[in-house]
Amino acid sequence: MKKKRSTNDETQRLKHARKDHFLIAYYFVIRHSSFVILSESRSTNVKALLPMIFPLSSS
C-alpha cells in the first residue's frame, strides 16, 4: 500500500512539475514580448502601460 501511494505522489509531482515548466515558459515568452515592445517603441506611455498589460513581469 505504501509503495502504491508513493508512486501516486510521484505522478502528482510530475504533473505539478509539468505545469510549472509551462508557466515558466509562458513567463519567459511574456517577458521576451514585453522587451520586444520596449525596444520597438521606446515611448514612456508604453513603459507605463506594460505593468498593466503584463502583470507577471512586474511581480
Q: Sketch the domain layout of the chain as residue ranges.
A: 20-59
For 15, what's the count of Cα atoms within 13 Å in the CB-facing half-sphere? 6
Cα separation, 51 vs 59, whole angstroms: 9
- Predicted confidence at residue 6, as pLDDT, reads 60
pTM to 2 decimal places: 0.35
- Predicted confidence at residue 17, as pLDDT, reads 75
pLDDT digits (tens, 9 = 90+) for 30-42: 887 777 666 666 6
